[in-house]
Every structure is written in C-alpha cells, then in structure tokens.
Amino acid sequence: MAWEIHSSFDVLFDHAWSQLARATADPRHAWRYPALGTVAAGMPQQRTVVIRGVRQAESLVWAYTDGRSPKVSQLQSQPKASWLFYDPKARVQLVMHTQVQIHNGDEVSRTHWERLNPVQYKDYNTAQAPGTQAAQVDYLNEESWDSTHFCVLMAKVLTLELLMLNSEGHVRLHFSVVDGIWVGQKLVP
C-alpha cells in the first residue's frame, strides 16, 4: 500500500510501522538504513545502522552492534537515541525518539545471535575495537566466532513523527503516548 496522506492518523501510524517491518526484511527498502543519533558530551553523534526488527505492540525497534563501539558507551551514559529514516520515492521522512536498552551476554542477545546469518558473525569479532586505529583488520576466534561483543540495541519508541511531502501541501504528524495510548497531532510542516 502506498502512503495515502489523507488517511486517518491511525492508518498512517500503522502504515509507518508496517513500512518499518518491511524494511527489516527487504534490503532494498528505503528505510532499511536509518541514521541513529546519540549524544556524547553535548555533541550530536550519528551513524548509519540496519534496522533489524520491530514489534509494534511494544513500540520496539532494534539494531545490532559491537559493544566496544563508541555508540554503546554513549548510550550507557545517555540511553536515548533518535532514528531518522527517509524514503525518497515516497518522499516520507520518519523521525523517532527512543529509550535504548543494551543487551549483551543475556538471553535477548543470545536469541538474536543464534538467528544471525553466520556470515555476519565476523562483524562482531574484530581483534580491535571499532573506531580504533589499525593498519589492518584482524579477527578474533575465526574458528568459532564469539558473541562476546555482540549487542542488541533494543529501542522503545517514545515519539514518532512523519513528514509526508506532497505538491498539494506537506503533511506532518507527531505521535506520542498519552495515558498509555498513541495520540497523533497535526503540525505545521
């Protein structure tokens, strides 16, 4: 289904979630690679990640990373992250603000590790930490890849904002939880 900008808030909200779900399964989906924003000492930090899963009923989205990467220590000090998606064909931007829980060495991270395609294991097995200087990239545990550094960034969505560009007039909708229920508001684009 395409974006029908005159649909009700509920329909557009559900459509945003269904597009996120599709992005987790389709490597060609425009929302596959959001910019994940964190803060470090008052400075915004951003990087591209892959959205790995969503669970709308619990307002959850998640990504995977190496626990030694700077974003993880940033999230330990300030467990908030923004996620920015843009679909240039549909001309729809989505911004989410989230509260992030880091899962490493627990049941959640084990379950996700077991579901990974083994070709992905090496991404979490560099000998040196991501972001450190190295003349070449060496790997740990090539014989049996290890999940020690594998982290699931489980993000609870606190607000969700859609901007739909349209020649008849752009539409901007802001959703937040009020008394346990998602409520949408129309904003000036």
Residues in contact with ligand FMN by CB under 6 A are 33, 45, 47-50, 63-65, 69-71, 130-131
Rank residues 79 and 184 by Cβ distance to ligand FMN and give the closer one: 79
Nearest to 188, CA basis, from 170, 167, 165: 170
Residue type, 119: V
Taking the complex as a whole, the smallest distance from the CB of residue 101 to ligand FMN amounts, in Å, to 16
Closer residue to ligand FMN (CB): 47 or 186 = 47
**Which of 176, 18, 181, 177 has its CA nearest to residue 92?**
18
**Buried/exposed 84-99: b ≥16 CB within 10 Å, e otherwise:** ebbbeeeebbbbbbbe
Output the smallest distance, CB 63 to ligand FMN, in A.
5
Q: How far is the CB of 131 from ligand FMN (least distance, A)?
A: 4
Instruction: Please report, for residues 11, 72, 144, 185, the alpha-carbon distance to residue 65 in angstroms, rounded to integers and kept in the order given.
Output: 32, 8, 19, 34
Nearer to ligand FMN, 152 or 164 (CB): 152
Minimum distance from residue 11 beta carbon to ligand FMN (Å)? 30
Cβ closer to ligand FMN: 36 or 164? 36
